[in-house]
Amino acid sequence: MAGKIATRNAYGETLVELAEKYPELVVLDADLSGSTMTKFFAAAHPDRFFDCGIAECDMAGIAAGMAADGLKPFINSFAMFSTGRIYEQIRNSIAYPRLNVKVVGSHGGVSVGEDGATHQCIEDFSLMRAIPGMLVCCPCDGNEMRLAVKALMEYDGPAYLRLQRLSTEIFTDELEGYSFQLGKGCTLREGSDVSIIATGLMVSKALQAADMLAAEGISARVINIHTLKPLDDELVLKAARETGCIVTSEEHTVIGGLGSAVCELLGEKCPVPVVRHGVNDVFGRSGSASDVLEYFGLTAQKIAEKAKYALSLKK
């Protein structure tokens, strides 16, 4: 396939593809359909698209009521609002009654860019992971996003899906042995010295970091975790046992996201050094996506540095 696409576009296109097969699929938005890319669905199926206006809390409740009636709603806004602003509505109206609502947060992370800190959600994984029974998913490219949306359509229960604003290369379709299953990570590259466990935008950078490390004679395994919860315990434990140290990488605060999930597991089952790479407990800031990512050290170079640090802790 190759080429570039933002995961939000892949998401929007896939919703349209699924509409015919799933008549119970309905899409709700809160006045951001042009950005969340639900506009494609709105145009194709106006009768099954509900613009709730700038009223995210109500959108969550409406979706809960629809799901109680057997519909399968996907609710959409920027991650900041679809998880942060309406955390409690998701918890009490959707997740507690275990209703089949998919909560979608587009514009996740700092790569939102110019809009700055108020719109750069770096806490969505933590917030959603903390809710009992909530599945949390963050695909790494357009191909994986399409597979994730299809899988979530079949998944019966509350789930959170993070989308990216930024266009990025599609690469998973050309990886040998790649397959997608909710709750299962995949090893994108074998390695024996250190494991880099990454999610979303950081996965392709982790692969680049592994190339840099290889040039220095370090063998780095790269694992893609698209489903942060439930975490693929088996795959993470295997990596810890076989490589003895771990770097986690995410476009998210290092508190409560992928790094925390890996630490929680390994701390109890296989204590090895884990170095968390992400946003270090600070708010985002305005700038072009690439400048902001560079500013926060969300780069392949930085992952490679963290990997060497993890290796030093192992010795």
Q: Which residues are catalytic?
A: 56
**Minimal distance in Å, beta carbon 87 to another protein?**
11
- By CB under 8 A, residue 42 contacts another protein: no
- Binding span for another protein by CB under 8 A among 8-16, 93-101, 103-111, 272-280: 93-101
Query: Which secondary structure element, helix H or strand E, spans residue 18, and what is its range?
Result: helix 7-19
Would you tell me the crossing angle of helices 300-314 and 202-215 to the nearest 10 degrees?
A: 60
Give dist(CA 297, CA 13) in Å, integer: 32
**Minimal distance in Å, beta carbon 40 to another protein?**
20
- By CB under 8 A, residue 102 contacts another protein: no
Instruction: Please count the residues of this chain forming the interface with another protein, following the rule CB under 8 A.
Output: 28
Contact 262, 236 (CB under 8 A): yes
Residue 31 CB neighbour total at 10 angstroms: 15
Interacting residue with another protein among 5, 18, 62, 163 (CB under 8 A): 62
Q: In sequence order, what are the residues at sequence separation of 6 or more whose Cβ sits closer than 8 angstroms to the Cβ of residue 180?
A: 144, 147, 148, 151, 186, 226
- What DSSP string describes 289-304? HHHHHHHTT-SHHHHH
- By CB under 8 A, residue 46 contacts another protein: no
- By CB under 8 A, residue 69 contacts another protein: yes
Give dist(CA 234, CA 74) in Å, integer: 30
- By CB under 8 A, residue 152 contacts another protein: no
Interacting residue with another protein among 34, 46, 53, 271 (CB under 8 A): 53
Nearer to another protein, 10 or 90 (CB): 90
Classify the C-alpha dihedral 171-300-259-84 as positive or negative: negative
Binding-residue pattern over the window 107 to 126 for another protein, x denoting contact by CB under 8 A: --------------------
Amino acid letter at 203?
V
Amino acid letter at 107?
H
Interacting residue with another protein among 39, 45, 98, 285 (CB under 8 A): 98
- Binding span for another protein by CB under 8 A among 89-97, 153-161, 220-228, 264-272: 89-97
List interacting residues with another protein (CB under 8 A): 26, 47-48, 50, 52-53, 55, 57-58, 60-71, 88-89, 92-93, 96-98
